[in-house]
Structures are given as C-alpha cells and as structure tokens.
C-alpha cells in the first residue's frame, strides 16, 4: 500500500488566501449588488513596462527564425542577464557579486521553497512571525518541525516582529542554523537598518549559520539609509544567500523571472565538520531539477536594466508607493497605528482588535478586502495587511468607503 509523506498532514489547515476567498465569495453571493474592492492579495495590477513588452516581442520573433532560434539555454540563465544583474544590482552598489554567483529562475517563491533541500533534516530554524508562509511550510513538508501546537510548529525558533521591536526582530538568544529574513517585509512593510542587518550577519558568523535574505521588494526602498542588499553589510558574502524577483519590481508575476545569489564563500558542514560550498550544491541541484527560464522572458528581464527600463520600473514602483501613501494617510485619519508603505507596497495596520473580526468589519461595512494578520502567524494577530497593489481609482474609492464605514 503506497504511503504519503506524513509531514504534509502537519500543515496547519488551509491556506490563508483560500479562507479569505471563501468569506468573500459568501459575502458576494449574499450581497450581489455590492461590488467589493480587494486590497488583500499581494499581486500586481499594472501592465508590464513597455521596454519588457518590446523585448518579449523581439525575442519571440527571434524564436521564429532558424538563424536565431534558441532551444535549451544554460540552466543558470543566459550570460546577458546574469551580467546585467551582477553589474546593476550589486557592483553599482559596491557589492562584489559576480555573474556566476547569480542563478536565474522562474520565481523567488520556488527558490525560497527549494533552497532548504541543501540542508540536513535536523538543523535549527529561525523563522519570522508574521511570515511569508513559504519559508515555514516548506520546512514542515520536509519534516524539519514537530506538530503545530497552538499555532506554532514545535522546534522552530520564531522571530517575533511586534510593535515593541518596530516589527524588526532582534537576533535570538539561542543558536540557530538557518535564518529566514525578508526586508522590505511581507506582510509588515517594515525595513531593516544597516545596524540591524549587521547584527544578523554577526550572529550568523558567530554561529556558523546561514541567512536566507528575501529582498523581493527591494525596488520599493526610497530611504537612502536603508540597504538594498544584505551584501551591503560587511561579511555577508560568507553567510548569506539573497532572493530577488522581477515580480514586484517589474510586474512579472505572470511572466515569471527571479534569481538567487549564492556567493562562492558560503558553506555548510557535513557530519565530520567538513565545509561544503553551497554554490556547488545549489548548482548541482539547479542543473538537475531546473531547465532554465524562457529566452524571451530573460530578454524582458534584461530590458529592465536599460536606461529606459530603469526609468519605467522606477515609475511603476513609485505608482504603487503613491497608493501606499494614500493608505497610510487614511489610516492616520482613523487614528490606526501602522508601519510599512514608505519603502514597501504593504501597510501593516495595528487594529487593536481581533484581525479576522476587523477583516469582517471592513468586508461587511465597506466591501473592502484586506488580509487578516493572524493568517501570517501568531504575532499577526491584532493586525491586517493592506496592499498598495491596485489601481489608483480602486484605492481611492476603497479608502473613501472605509472612512465612511469606520
Ligand atoms: C512575491 C514574493 C516573492 C516573489 O515571488 P515570485 O515567485 O518571484 O513571484 C518572494 N518573496 C516574497 C516575500 C514575496 O512576497
């Protein structure tokens, strides 16, 4: 009799967004004349930048000609894209990252999910609360946690992000081995300062640990004091991997392109204490299990680094940041405390009450959908996430409805 991977049965009930969809569907069925506005799910709404559309078109034409047709490309990505990434995202910011340390993929979600395969089954995890669920769930699936008791998987060190620490967790008092960090943060929109990141790099170095730094929202940073990459911190090249994506930067959620940076100096150890290069292990994994991103998509991603492309992607992020500013102002008028929205497309609202109760209140009174913070972890209780990914028109009318309803 074939058996399942029973770790899957440890996963806490259903996926957050399925719960939300169910409540919204029930409301819409009962109130067909009241259109709802969704400020919940973190998907982009604005179309691709024109430089990307043009690159897709030109590359598609190349694929239709014998002389320029491309079959399988390098699993790690074409050199033109890896070089553009290394130069524009790292070297220009003073980070010594070389093109062969960049692994192009079809999503930071997959990369965040897959990276844990490189590590032993009994390593100690440090995972934020609230959290982008992928970090936690993929480790549950792999059997690195005990069962969930009272909303917490046993054996995980939770990094609590609360109003008390400004939603940026301190390094834990206990040693851990694999640390997930995400700044600008999803769901809170909080950013980490240079000193805060330096404390994490120092902790990782002292503990022979590895930091997985998710900077999917890097393009939204506007404060010049905030680091865009973990590699702006001295010593990070030895202990940190960085995830980036074109999804939020350039509206690629439906086009699919991202990358993982694995510096050659980062190591993890075997049971005999011998260090192994994560770059070698990830290269082995990536070339075995992945067959490259579509050529036209890589050309579209590379187009974001042209002068025109940079201007267009910056304008895209600025547009969403404009929405975020309106949300923050509206929350301020309602005397609700919040973080995020300045250097991130998310606003994390401290509602001062049960987060699902606040969700239902917004849905029933204002026909606006937000994301209940409790769905992101225990520390999300009492909060909701409002997303700036929407049209200006929808944001303005949603805020107008909220102002009347609350
Ligand atoms: C959206 C998002 C990603 C990027 O996902 P893709 O698979 O590249 O679309 C990664 N991390 C976080 C925290 C995100 O919110």
Q: pTM of the full predicted structure?
A: 0.97
Instruction: State the closest ligand 1 atom to the C-alpha of 245, by its place in the atom list counted from 1.
Output: 8
Q: Which of 257, 291, 306 is the last residue before a domain boundary?
A: 306
Check if the beta carbon of residue 323 is closer than 8 Å to that of residue 336.
no
Does the Cβ of 245 fall within 6 Å of ligand 1?
yes
Q: What are the phi and psi torsion angles at 224 (to 5°)?
A: -65, -15
Q: Would you state the pLDDT for residue 128?
A: 98
Q: Which of 284, 306, 328 is the last residue before a domain boundary?
A: 306
- Token pair belonging to 383: 């909060």
Residues 42 and 68 placed together within one structural domain of the fold: no
Q: Which of 287, 306, 325 is the last residue before a domain boundary?
A: 306
CATH of the domain at 74: 3.40.640.10
Does the Cβ of 108 fall within 6 Å of ligand 1?
yes
Q: Select from 115, 184, 186, 251 the residue to mutate for testing ligand 1; criterion: most ligand atoms less than 8 Å from CB.
A: 186
> Can you say how many angstroms the Cα of residue 348 is from the centroid of all Cα atoms in its chain?
15
Q: What are the phi and psi torsion angles at 203 (to 5°)?
A: -60, -45
Check if the beta carbon of residue 184 is closer than 8 Å to that of residue 191.
yes
Check if the beta carbon of residue 242 is closer than 8 Å to that of residue 39.
no
Mean pLDDT of 207-234: 98
CATH of the domain at 325: 3.90.1150.10
Residues 145 and 229 placed together within one structural domain of the fold: yes
Q: Determine, yes or no, domain membership for 213.
A: yes
Does the Cβ of 176 fall within 6 Å of ligand 1?
no
In the reported structure, the alpha carbon of residue 253 is separated from the centroid of ligand 1 by a whole-number distance in angstroms of 8
Higher pLDDT, 130 or 19: 130
- Token pair belonging to 381: 């209780």
Residues 83 and 19 placed together within one structural domain of the fold: no
Instruction: State the closest ligand 1 atom to the C-alpha of 214, by its place in the atom list counted from 1.
Output: 11
Does the Cβ of 371 fall within 6 Å of ligand 1?
no
Instruction: State the closest ligand 1 atom to the C-alpha of 108, by its place in the atom list counted from 1.
Output: 8
Residues 15 and 63 placed together within one structural domain of the fold: no
Q: Of 76, 77, 102, which Cα lies nearest the Cα of 88?
A: 102
Residues 338 and 204 placed together within one structural domain of the fold: no
Does the Cβ of 95 fall within 6 Å of ligand 1?
no
Does the Cβ of 220 fall within 6 Å of ligand 1?
no
Does the Cβ of 296 fall within 6 Å of ligand 1?
no
In the reported structure, the alpha carbon of residue 247 is separated from the centroid of ligand 1 by a whole-number distance in angstroms of 7
Q: How many domains does the chain have?
A: 2
Residues 162 and 224 placed together within one structural domain of the fold: yes
Q: Of 170, 261, 217, which Cα lies nearest the Cα of 389?
A: 217
Q: Determine, yes or no, domain membership for 92.
A: yes
Residues 252 and 121 placed together within one structural domain of the fold: yes
Q: Determine, yes or no, domain membership for 1.
A: no
Task: State what percent of residues in the chain have pLDDT above 70.
Answer: 99
Is the predicted pLDDT of residue 13 greater than 80, yes or no? no
Is the predicted pLDDT of residue 74 greater than 90, yes or no? yes
Residues 69 and 202 placed together within one structural domain of the fold: yes
In the reported structure, the alpha carbon of residue 33 is separated from the centroid of ligand 1 by a whole-number distance in angstroms of 34
Does the Cβ of 182 fall within 6 Å of ligand 1?
yes
Mean pLDDT of 221-236: 98
Mean pLDDT of 291-302: 98
Q: Determine, yes or no, domain membership for 401.
A: yes
Residues 290 and 368 placed together within one structural domain of the fold: no
Q: Determine, yes or no, domain membership for 324.
A: yes
Q: Would you state the pLDDT for residue 40?
A: 83
Residues 164 and 300 placed together within one structural domain of the fold: yes
What tens digit of pLDDT does each residue of 388-405 get?
999 999 999 999 999 999
In the reported structure, the alpha carbon of residue 252 is separated from the centroid of ligand 1 by a whole-number distance in angstroms of 10
Residues 271 and 394 placed together within one structural domain of the fold: no
Mean pLDDT of 64-92: 98
Residues pairing with 242 in the sheet: 213, 261
Which domain covers residue 127, as residue numbers?
A: 53-306
Q: Determine, yes or no, domain membership for 231.
A: yes
∠ CA(312), CA(392), CA(132), 5° rounding?
75
Instruction: State the closest ligand 1 atom to the C-alpha of 111, by its place in the atom list counted from 1.
Output: 7
Is the predicted pLDDT of residue 52 greater than 90, yes or no? yes
Is the predicted pLDDT of residue 41 greater than 80, yes or no? no
What tens digit of pLDDT does each residue of 232-288 get?
999 999 999 999 999 999 999 999 999 999 999 999 999 999 999 999 999 999 999
Q: Determine, yes or no, domain membership for 393.
A: yes
In the reported structure, the alpha carbon of residue 318 is separated from the centroid of ligand 1 by a whole-number distance in angstroms of 19
In the reported structure, the alpha carbon of residue 236 is separated from the centroid of ligand 1 by a whole-number distance in angstroms of 22
Residues 213 and 65 placed together within one structural domain of the fold: yes
What tens digit of pLDDT does each residue of 127-149 get?
999 999 999 999 999 999 999 99
């Amino acid at each position: 009799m074939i058996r399942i991977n029973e770790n899957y049965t440890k996963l806490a009930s259903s996926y957050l967004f399925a719960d939300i969809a169910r409540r919204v569907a029930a409301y819409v069925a009962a109130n067909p004349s009241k259109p709802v506005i969704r400020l919940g799910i973190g998907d982009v709404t604005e179309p691709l930048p024109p430089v990307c559309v043009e690159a897709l078109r030109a590359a598609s034409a190349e694929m239709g000609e014998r002389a320029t047709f491309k079959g399988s490309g390098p699993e790690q990505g074409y050199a033109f894209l890896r070089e553009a990434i290394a130069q524009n995202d790292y070297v220009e910011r003073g980070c010594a990252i070389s093109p062969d340390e960049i692994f192009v993929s079809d999503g930071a979600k997959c990369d965040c999910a897959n990276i844990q395969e490189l590590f032993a089954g009994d390593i100690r995890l440090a995972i934020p609360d609230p959290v982008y669920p992928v970090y936690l769930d993929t480790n549950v699936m792999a059997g690195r946690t005990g069962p969930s008791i009272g909303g917490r998987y046993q054996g995980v060190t939770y990094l609590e992000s609360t109003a008390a620490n400004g939603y940026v967790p301190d390094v834990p008092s206990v040693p851990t081995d694999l640390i997930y960090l995400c700044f600008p943060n999803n769901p809170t929109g909080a950013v980490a300062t240079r000193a805060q990141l330096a404390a994490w790099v120092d902790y990782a170095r002292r503990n022979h640990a590895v930091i997985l730094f998710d900077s999917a929202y890097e393009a939204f940073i506007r404060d010049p004091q905030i680091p865009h990459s973990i590699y702006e911190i001295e010593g990070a090249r030895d202990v940190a991997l960085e995830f980036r994506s074109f999804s939020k930067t350039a509206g690629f959620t439906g086009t699919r392109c991202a990358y993982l940076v694995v510096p050659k100096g980062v190591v993890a150890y075997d049971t005999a204490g011998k260090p192994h290069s994560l770059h070698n292990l990830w290269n082995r994994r990536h070339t075995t299990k992945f067959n490259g991103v579509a050529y036209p998509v890589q050309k579209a991603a590379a187009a974001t680094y042209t002068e025109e492309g940079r201007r267009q992607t910056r304008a895209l992020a600025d547009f969403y940041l404009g929405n975020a500013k309106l949300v923050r102002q509206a929350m301020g008028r309602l005397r609700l405390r919040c973080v995020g929205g300045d250097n991130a497309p998310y606003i994390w609202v401290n509602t001062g009450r049960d987060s699902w109760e606040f969700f239902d209140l917004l849905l029933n009174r204002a026909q606006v959908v937000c994301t209940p913070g409790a769905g992101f972890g225990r520390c999300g209780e009492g909060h909701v996430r409002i997303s700036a990914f929407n049209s200006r028109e929808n944001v303005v009318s949603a805020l107008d409805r909220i102002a009347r309803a609350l």
